Amino acid sequence: MDNTNPEVLARAGLTHIIEPNDQTGAALVQVTGAIDAYRLIREHTGPAPAREQQQVAELLDAHGASRSALRLDAGLERWRPRAALADPESDLKLMTRLGGGLIAPQDPNWPTGFEALGLAAPLALWYRGDGDLAILRDTSRLVAIVGSRDATEYGRTITAELVHGLRAHGICIVSGGAYGIDAQAHQAALAEDPPTNQSPGQRTTPPTIAVMAGGLNRFYPVGNEDLLKAVHRQGLLIAEVAPGATPSRWRFLQRNRMIAALCATTIVSEARWRSGALSTAHHAAEMGREVGAVPGSVFSANSAGCHRLIREGAATLVTDAAEAIELLNLPVQAPIPAEAVPGTRDSGTTEAEDRRDYDGLPIQDLLLLDALPVRIPRTADQLAIVAGLGMGSILGGLSRLAARSLAERTGNGWIRRFPNGREPQRGAPTPR
């Protein structure tokens, strides 16, 4: 939208003055509109005008958010000290120069997912980067992957696997641009999709979006500067605070609610018992979005947060990309072949195949199978006694087992056979 548009100018100013998730501010904007709200905060002195005071209180009540601290005059007292310092024109000029701008709720690219936030929705969205902004509307193609800052090699590996599988389905990976799991998620998404020489102005669908807690004029944290520059080149950075705003504790916590609201699904790939990633997951669950969490060693403090979410029922246990994609409720995937199922791939024992050979056999045939000798043949009569089966079951069973190459006639008796020449393991003749 046009930087001279009064709505855009007013909202740019408001993002400088009103903290994220200040519902009194959101209520005022809803009551008077952004332009009048901005004017009121800058120009009005003394107690809040009675009509607005009343309407804001009613709106907050309607959202069950009313508390004395949320009264309009308390809000005005909070906002006025900053109002004088707001300079939306120069903020907008700066962000345009940095390859970004402001999205107002009237903008066609305003994130659909923000509707779920009600009065907690951002007043406007600052962005920076070359990615196509249209992705913001497409909640179902946005998946958040978040986790603790002090990621382990385990957490990094599973994060990269999840990103790889999700990118293969054209999913855009959303995270918080922080150290650890966030950085790995962005990194893996960028690696999947090498930068193309696009002509200036030509925007492509971003592989990843970084949702920042501070102003987009700088790349923060410093240790992620190169990574975030790459996100700028190939994707998008977004924030609800004005350029120059520091990434404060409060803004970090509120940033988490934005990530959750933006995405159809949030996956916590590795998180400590107390981690901001858990607040993101809880925000998502409260909004009825899908939440996944990756389990790990019970001795790893870095998986304790994921286990906590699963135990609380706030998250579904997710072990690979296929299970993450299940959460998206995309068109159903082809079933995973048993060979690809964990526990059968690189299987140390023959248990898995072993069991498959016998699946679907009636009880009598299992009993008969157990009665078949490996070397010295037994007659049908002997088998009837050993297996505890009638002659009818014995003869029918022998033909069924022979058909599966599990039994073989030799002379006037029968012996056990093993498909693919597999012999039972020593000391473990049967699966438990």
Which residues in 385-414 contact a copy of itself (CB under 8 A)?
385, 388-393
Identify the residue among 9, 18, 92, 189 touching a copy of itself (CB under 8 A).
Answer: 18
Is the alpha carbon torsion for 238, 239, 245, 250 positive or negative? negative
CB of 325 to a copy of itself, least distance (A): 14
CB of 84 to a copy of itself, least distance (A): 8
For residue 141, the 8-state DSSP code is G
Token pair 């029918």 is at which residue?
A: 396
Q: List, in sequence order, the alpha helices (H) in 265-390.
A: 276-286, 304-311, 321-327, 351-358, 363-371, 380-387
Which positions from 301 to 340 touch a copy of itself by CB under 8 A, shown as an x/- string? Answer: xxxxx-xx-xx----xx-xx--x-----------------
Token pair 């073989």 is at which residue?
A: 408
Identify the residue among 51, 93, 229, 274 touching a copy of itself (CB under 8 A).
Answer: 274
The encoded tokens of residue 43 equal: 């120009």
Q: How far is CA 1 from the centre of its chain?
A: 30
Length of the chain (residues): 432
Identify the residue among 33, 195, 223, 419 touching a copy of itself (CB under 8 A).
Answer: 223
Which positions from 52 to 91 touch a copy of itself by CB under 8 A, shown as an x/- string? Answer: -----------------x----x--xxxxxx--x------
Q: Under a CB-based contact definition with an 8 Å cutoff, are residues 39 and 76 in contact?
A: no
> In terms of CB distance, is 198 or 297 closer to a copy of itself?
297
CB of 142 to a copy of itself, least distance (A): 19
Q: Under the criterion CB under 8 A, does residue 20 sit at the interface with a copy of itself? A: no
Q: Under the criterion CB under 8 A, does residue 384 sit at the interface with a copy of itself? A: yes
Measure the CA–CA gap between 234 and 206, rounded to whole angstroms: 6
CB of 402 to a copy of itself, least distance (A): 18
Which positions from 229 to 268 touch a copy of itself by CB under 8 A, shown as an x/- string? Answer: -----------------xxxxxxx---x------------
- Provide the 3-class DSSP secondary structure of residue 271: coil
Provide the residue type at 72 as one letter.
L
286-305 residues in contact with a copy of itself (CB under 8 A) are: 294-299, 301-305
CB of 431 to a copy of itself, least distance (A): 6
Give the phi and the psi of residue 7 in degrees, each rounded to 5.
Answer: -60, -45
CB of 208 to a copy of itself, least distance (A): 17
Exposed / middle / buried, residue 80 (Cβ in 10 Å: 0-12, 13-18, 19+): middle
Which positions from 98 to 127 touch a copy of itself by CB under 8 A, shown as an x/- string? Answer: ------------------------------
354-383 residues in contact with a copy of itself (CB under 8 A) are: 355, 358, 362-364, 366-367, 369-371
CB of 97 to a copy of itself, least distance (A): 25
Identify the residue among 178, 188, 189, 407 touching a copy of itself (CB under 8 A).
Answer: 178
Is the alpha carbon torsion for 406, 409, 412, 415 positive or negative? negative
> In terms of CB distance, is 27 or 384 closer to a copy of itself?
384
Q: Under the criterion CB under 8 A, does residue 149 sit at the interface with a copy of itself? A: yes
Q: If we measure between CA atoms, which residue out of 136, 135, 235, 222 comes closest to residue 194?
A: 235
The encoded tokens of residue 303 equal: 């998986």
> In terms of CB distance, is 10 or 135 closer to a copy of itself?
10
Identify the residue among 351, 395, 396, 402 touching a copy of itself (CB under 8 A).
Answer: 351
Token pair 């870095």 is at which residue?
A: 302
State how far the alpha carbon of 79 is from the alpha carbons of 33, 44, 241, in Å.
16, 11, 14
State how far the alpha carbon of 416 is from the alpha carbons of 118, 191, 372, in Å.
69, 54, 5
Q: How far is CA 296 from the centre of its chain?
A: 17
> In terms of CB distance, is 135 or 369 closer to a copy of itself?
369
